[in-house]
Amino acid sequence: MNNRPIKTAAVLVALVASLGLSACASSDTESSNAGATTTAAAFESGTAKQDKEEGGDVAATTPPNLPKPTAEELNARINKALAGQLTGDEKKTYIEDADQDPMLVDKFVDAANKNNVKVTITKVGDPTDGKLKADADVTIDGQPVQDAFIDFVAEDESWKVSHTFACNIVKSAKLDSAACQA
């Protein structure tokens, strides 16, 4: 019996597989090393800059020292937003990083309405480093969310709903926002 056709087929399969793997490996390596080549060359040649880049270090910002809000104050604030009763100027003061997407508050409201989100703040934690955690009764489409809480951030002289909470609500409705990009 002649095994030549089987051996030839096996060699061809191995060759095609190895070419496919090497093509994938080289393109991955090329794309991942594209930025590294310049950096490595600068270090190897000893031409790395010793001076600071223009712009310098980013200055650390101290969050405003706002008083601890009451549960009633936070309820009034978040429910006014969820009801869509904010003016254009107020929208900027309700969600952290809302300036990254002028439509973030509107998308937050639309998403909350689409999913029938209801929020009642039940307990407000103590502020730490410009942040606080508020326990809440939250329902989505009538279903209670276990152990729910909302993070608030002290920013621009007010307690704003955290970017993370707002984006989770927006994403849950399959909406997109420039402010919610990773």
What are the residues whose beta carbons fall under 8 Å from the beta carbon of 151, sequence distance 6 or more? 131, 132, 133, 134, 161, 162, 164, 165
> Vertex 23, ends 17 and 24: CA angle to 5°?
90
- Spatial contact of 54 and 112, defined as CB atoms under 8 Å apart: no
pLDDT of residue 180: 87
pLDDT of residue 120: 96
pLDDT of residue 65: 85
CA atoms of 96 and 98, how far apart (whole Å): 6
pLDDT of residue 25: 39
Going residue by residue through the chain, which has 182 residues, state the pLDDT in tens, using 9 for 90 and above.
Answer: 555 444 433 333 333 333 333 333 344 444 444 444 433 333 333 444 444 445 555 555 777 889 999 999 999 999 998 888 998 888 888 999 888 888 899 999 999 999 999 999 999 999 999 999 999 999 999 999 999 999 999 998 899 999 998 998 898 888 888 888 86
- Is the CATH code 1.20.120 the one for domain 71-180? no
pLDDT of residue 22: 33
What string of H, E and C letters represents the secondary structure of 62-77?
Answer: CCCCCCCCCHHHHHHH
Question: What is the pTM assigned to this prediction?
Answer: 0.64
Q: What digits encode the pLDDT tens for the residues 15-49?
A: 333 333 333 334 444 444 444 443 333 333 344 44
> Vertex 38, ends 32 and 42: CA angle to 5°?
140
**Measured in whole angstroms, how far is the alpha carbon of residue 178 from the centre of its chain?**
10
pLDDT of residue 29: 41
